[in-house]
């Protein structure tokens, strides 16, 4: 079974996660890694794992446009963001990515991971000076400092484990002529 890991990264954090997922997946399956900044890859994998950095509560523009072209595949979706991975914002952000692919594909799983904001975005927030979610408040400065160390090795390992397991489950369904239903239906 051929797997493609396709990602878009701004601060390098999504790339770190994508590389970890691809490296571990390649130990069990034929797997390739594609950065969208290098051009649009040919979709020749049976399973496509799509990773993005969160921008305005969903996939960044380039990844969102690409995701909307994926059709007839088993798809996993992952993202990194500079908010807490268990926050409502994170859950909304992964759901926004899933929404881009769920109508034309089978969703085998998803993964949300903490990640650092790019320094460019942090500087923009600091200059902005507004109060609220994206201000340079003491609380946000603490969060940005913590997120600078993410994704950790443990987070990368967990992401890889999640998708390797889901790919195996999908593969077993196919071998036994069972219909794999999207994880969204369970």
Write down all domains in the chain, each with its CATH number in brackets: 2-115+152-185 (3.40.50.360), 118-149 (no CATH)
DSSP secondary structure, 92-137, as one string? HHHHHHHHHHTTTSEEEEEEEEE-PPPHHHHHHHHHH--SSTTS--
pTM: 0.92
Amino acid 120: pLDDT: 83
* Regions of the chain with pLDDT less than 70: 129-134, 185-186
pLDDT score recorded for residue 124: 82
pLDDT in tens, 7-36: 999 989 999 999 999 999 999 999 999 999
pLDDT for 70 equals: 98
Q: What is the CA radius of gyration of the chain?
A: 17
């Amino acid at each position: 079974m051929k797997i493609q890991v396709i990602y878009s990264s701004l601060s390098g954090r999504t790339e770190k996660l994508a590389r970890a997922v691809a490296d571990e997946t390649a130990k069990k399956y034929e797997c390739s890694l594609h950065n969208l900044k290098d051009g649009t890859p040919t979709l020749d994998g049976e399973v496509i794992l799509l990773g993005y950095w969160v921008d305005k509560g969903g996939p960044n523009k380039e990844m969102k446009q690409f995701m909307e072209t994926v059709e007839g595949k088993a798809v996993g979706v992952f993202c990194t963001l500079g908010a807490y991975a268990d926050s409502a914002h994170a859950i909304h952000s992964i759901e926004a990515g899933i929404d881009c692919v769920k109508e034309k594909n089978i969703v085998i799983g998803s993964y949300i991971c903490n990640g650092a904001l790019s320094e460019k975005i942090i500087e923009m927030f600091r200059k902005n000076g507004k109060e609220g979610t994206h201000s340079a408040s003491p609380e946000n400065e603490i969060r940005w400092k913590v997120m600078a160390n993410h994704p950790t090795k443990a987070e990368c390992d967990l992401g890889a484990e999640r998708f390797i397991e889901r790919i195996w489950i999908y593969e077993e369904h196919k071998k036994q002529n069972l219909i794999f239903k999207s994880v969204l239906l369970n």
